[in-house]
Structure 1
C-alpha cells in the first residue's frame, strides 16, 4: 500500500512489524484443516509457548484458565460460522501470573488464505483489572447502602423500646443517626477531607460504636477497653470499615439486636502485632455459618489481609460470637 507525495510511505512487512510492536499486537495464524497455529515472537512471549514451529490449539488450551476453557473452545469453533469481526476475551496462566488476552479476527472465512485464518492477540490485563476494581467498588457501595437501610431500621427499633414518648424517640433516633453519620465518614471519608491525621484506637472505636450504645439513658451495653494505640490516617478507613461491618451484623443478627445483649471490645499489643477481641454475649443463640461466604465477610477478610497485614478469625460459643482481629502494628500506624 503506498501513495505519492512529499513524504510517501510504503507499508511493507518491516513497517507493519514496527507498527504492530508499537501497538502491542501479537499475530497468529490458524490452519483450519491441521489445527496448527503459528505465532509471531510477541505471541510466543505473551503465551509463554515453546518456539521452533507451529503449535496446536490443544497445546495452547493447556494455558487457558480452567474457568474459561470451555467457553473459549466453543467460541473459536463458532468463528467460522460467524459473519464479520469477532473478539474473545479470556484468561491465560503464565507461570504464577494470570493474564487477560483478547483474541480478534474475522469470522465466516473472511480473509482466509490457503485454508489459513489470521488474527491478533492483545494483552488486556490492565483494562480487565481496572474493570474488576470498578465492579468491586460498585459491589462494595451497594453492600454498604443495603447495610445502612438495615441499620436505620434496627436503630429505630432500639429507640422505640428505650423511650416513652414520640418526642423522646425522635431525639434518641436523631442522636443515633448522627453518630452513625460520623462513623460512616470514617468508612468513606468526604472528598478533600484530611486523611493523614492519626487517631486514638479507643476514640475511633467509641465513635464507630456510639450509635449502638445503651437502650436506656445513662447505660451502655458496649464496653471498650484498649491501651493507647495510634491509628494512622491510611489505616483508619480500613479499620473503620471492618468494625462497621461487625457492628452491622451484630445489630441485625447478634447481641446488639436485642435489649439484653452486650458487646465487649478489648485490645492487647505485642511487639509487631495489635490484637482486638470482639466478644458478644446475651444475644440470640449463635451457630457457625454454613455455605457460601457473604460479600461482607469477603470484604472484611480482604481488608484485614490486604490493608492491615493481618487476619480475622471467628469463634461461635453458645454465649455469643467472638471475633479476633490481628493487625500488623506497622501497618496500623501508617
Structure 2
C-alpha cells in the first residue's frame, strides 16, 4: 500500500525534493538566496550568495556587519529601503542595487530583490523575515559606465564640430560679402541642430543618466525659444507628450527651423499681429504635427518654386522620419501637416 500523501516521511521527502529543485533553479539563474531577520539580527545566505559577497563562512552575518560591507555612499539608502520593506503598513517589497566591499578588497555591484514575510493581522502584524536574491551585476555596470564615458566624449566632440563648422562659415563669409545671406542661413541651421543635440543628449551624470525623458514638446520649446520675444505668445506650442529619440529630433529640428525662418521672413511672424500655432496629437501609430499661421499677410497662391529649405524639410520628413509633410497655402495663412510614425520618433 503506497504511503499517504500527508505522512510525515512523505512530506519530508517532498520538501527536500522541492528545496533541491529550487536550489538548482537558483543556481542556473546565477542567483544567491538570502534571508534577513531583523528580530534575530541575522542574515543567512546560500553557498552562491556567500561566494558573491566574498564571505565563505557558513556562520550568519549580523545586520550591522552586512551594512558595514556596503559602499558608504549606498549604505544609508539601503538601510532606508530595508526599514521600509519591514513596515507592517506596506507590501514588503524590496528592490535595489548597490556596491558591496568584499573582504578581499574587491568592489562588486549587487542587484538585490526580495519580499518580507509578515505574520499576524492588524496592529499585531509584523515582518518575520526578508527573503530575496542577490545577483552580481558588476560586469554589466562596468560596461554601462564605459558606454556612458564614450557617450559623454562623443557628445563633447559633436559640440566641438558644431562650433568649428560655424566658425568656418563665418570666416568664409568675411572674404565673400555676397555670400553672407547664405552663410547666415547655414549658421542658423547649424545652431538649430546644436540646440536639438543639447536637448536629446543633455550633460550626463557620472553614472551615465541623462536629464530625463525627451519629448516633442520639450524639443520644440527649446528649439523655438530664440524666435519668441520676451513675454510674447506669438508661437504657441501644444503637443501631446510623446518621447523622441536623437535621430528623429535632428530631422524634426531641421524641419521646424525652416518653417520658423520662413515665417519670420515671409509669413505670420513677419508682421506684429501674426501668430504660429503648433499642435501635436497621437493618431494610432502616427504622430501628427500641425503648424498653422494666422494673422500674417494674405496669401494669394502657392510659391512658384520650392526653396532649398523646403526641399530639405521634405527630404528630412520622408527619408529620416519615414513620414510625410504637406503644405496648404490658405489665404488666411500657411498650414503644414507632418505625419511621423511613432516607432520612428522613439527609435
Q: What TM-score do the two structures reach when normalised by structure 1? A: 0.43
Q: What TM-score do the two structures reach when normalised by structure 2? A: 0.42
